[in-house]
Structure 1
Amino acid sequence: MVIELVAGAINWDTTVFVDNFPNAGEEVKARKVISVPGGKGANTAVASARVLGKKSVGLIGALGDDRIGEEQVRILEDEGVDTSYIKRFNHPSGQAYILVNGKGENMILTYKAVNDMLKPEMMDENMLKAIDEASAVVVIDPPLEFALSLIERAREGDGKKKRKRIVWAPALLTRFGLDMLKDGISKVDYLVMNESECLLLSNADDVMQGFKTLAGLSKRMILTRGSEGCLFHWGDKIAQIPSIDLNSIGLHAVSSVGAGDAFLGVFTALLLKGYGELEALFMANLAAAIKVSREETRASPYYDELLRYMRDERVERFLTGIKVV
């Protein structure tokens, strides 16, 4: 049974590894090129499925009737993700073109293609039933109108008011501005974004000012900060959750692409497994760090691997870095 639904982009990623990002008009040598499945929605769904188990997570998204679409469905089903909520169109599937430098930092160009074709009226009976019955709904970056309609349905349901967690990580949707997202923000349980998205959406001069502005509009807000871990705001409290230093656990940074998706998927899945918020956030940071040590976009760890790392005393010592103010 699907207990978590994820809505967001499904892309095919072409990732080019370079020593340094080129300047305008500059040519640089590529060290390696890989072609792998990606997309925030699909990555997050897989990250959750690797924690919750097969057929526990469903993905709402869009794919073309093309070779990429067929391959994406096959890969997602192999991961145990329910693909019956994916809409297919006679249109190209989404793609992303990514540069990764020697520090693991990235620059991404996204061709949304069919991802932008989802409309609220496409929520058929099968999808609506899944939304109503899910214990968690994670909304990322489908078209804004679809995202807001999905949040509304998840909150109001079919009148039976099944309690569920609603998580929104608006990503590229932050470009629409706070006025257009404010209503949706007020209806979700967790608002999740990184520092650049926070600045863009809040129109603030600095990240902390933006964080406080957005936290005041949401029930709970999570600000991801890469190697600095994350901040979590709820009520009148703020928690600082440390990240894991890769070198200290024998790993090194390779690619940060997909790290935020690993974080989001693992955090939501752990909540559904009964973990408390702070522990789930710490383990989500750990999952993101592990992903950064790997080339592939969709390289989040499995649950048993997470548990092994959590038992490692080199990881345990970072737990003492959690601070609540």
Structure 2
Amino acid sequence: MILVFGSLNIDLVAQVPVIPGPGRTVLAPSYQTHFGGKGANQAVAAARIAGPGQVRMAGRVGRDGFGDSAIENLRANGVDAGLVVRADEPTGCAFITVDQAGENAITVASGANLAASAGDLPASLFGADTVLVLQMEVPFAQALDAARRTTAASGTVIWNLAPVPAKMNSEMVTELLAATSYLLVNEHEALDAAAAIGLAASEYEAAAAVLAKAGNLVCIVTAGAQGALAVTADGTCLRAPAPDITPVDTTGAGDTFAGALAAMIHEKVPLQTALEVGCEAAAQKCLKPGAQAGMPLRGAIAALAGTA
């Protein structure tokens, strides 16, 4: 089972000529409403690759219309939403601007996500076949508790260190690494995590190597057009290229990679194949607007041709 413990948001997206800087205002002709939250995004991406009934989502939404819609959307995508709990706070929202090159800037109002609790996860969920997927949009202490319970049950933990907390420190990163099987970061997050525990690295490849060794884990770095790499604790490095595309909207690309990676790890495919599937899925997502709308189904992934 793939268990995603994380955030659920509603995304309000505006296409703009340029992303505004401090003190600047830009006008957009309209906006779109999409489903988001790194947790929900990764759950949907995983379910589209793994298939219905393979993914469960745990988190919190408000007692509002946005919460109703978020739960209905998970179910429509084959995700078991039985562990999504109602909170008194409003459902989380993300305010996203996307420029003409497809790049984005995002502000997240956490809302009910800050009430997410590992106490919502029954002990029966944790076992050797559990693949737990975590991010950094719910309280760290709750995510860490879920990770430790999974590790204690001999399960697998994929932790996407995103977004990087403003006050990330050595203790936080050390605890995270100790409870993680696969650390998933982008280039900047890799350098930030290494710096937080005092490990010198000027390039993300070197940062991945020191993080993998420090945590005795696999560190996977997504690097946009440069593809992805994975470094194991013994220093072995694998790489996968990114397909050559012209992006329409990069929102959710990293989450698509994470969900596809979780599906592949759950299926115990070789790590090289997992990287290739993640890169292809993320690229396909970038061809459509919205965090989830472009997430591909299994049949669209060339690297999985002929698999059920």
TM-based fold match above 0.5: yes
Select the structure that is richer in helix: 1
Deviations, residues 3-41 of structure 1 (Å, cap 9, x unaligned): 110111100001111122223333333255211100000
Between the aligned partners of 2:230 and 2:201, the Cα distance in structure 1 is: 20
What is the match of residue 260 of structure 1? 254
What is the match of residue 172 of structure 1? 163
Q: How many residues align?
A: 295
Q: Is the 8 A contact 1:178 1:202 kept in 2?
A: no
Select which of 177, 186, 199 maps to 2:191.
Answer: 199
Spell out the pairing of 1:1-325 with structure 2 (5 A cutoff).
Answer: 3-30=1-28, 32-120=30-118, 122-124=119-121, 127-132=122-127, 134-141=129-136, 142-157=138-153, 163-175=154-166, 176-203=168-195, 206-208=202-204, 209-218=206-215, 219-234=217-232, 235-246=234-245, 252-298=246-292, 299-307=294-302
CA RMSD of aligned residues (A): 1.9
In structure 2, relative to structure 1, the CA distance for the partners of 1:228 and 1:32 (3 Å cut) is farther
Q: Is the 8 A contact 2:61 2:91 kept in 1?
A: yes
Q: Which runs of 5+ in 1 are unaligned?
A: 158-162, 247-251, 312-325
| Secondary structure, aligned partner of 1:30 | coil
Specify the code of the residue in structure 2 equivalent to 1:242: P
Between the aligned partners of 1:4 and 1:303, the Cα distance in structure 2 is: 16
| Secondary structure, aligned partner of 1:129 | helix
C-alpha displacement of 1:138: 1.0
Query: Which shows bigger deviation, 22-31 or 279-288?
Result: 22-31
In structure 2, relative to structure 1, the CA distance for the partners of 1:7 and 1:173 (3 Å cut) is farther
C-alpha displacement of 1:128: 2.2
Between the aligned partners of 1:205 and 1:166, the Cα distance in structure 2 is: 25
Identity %: 27
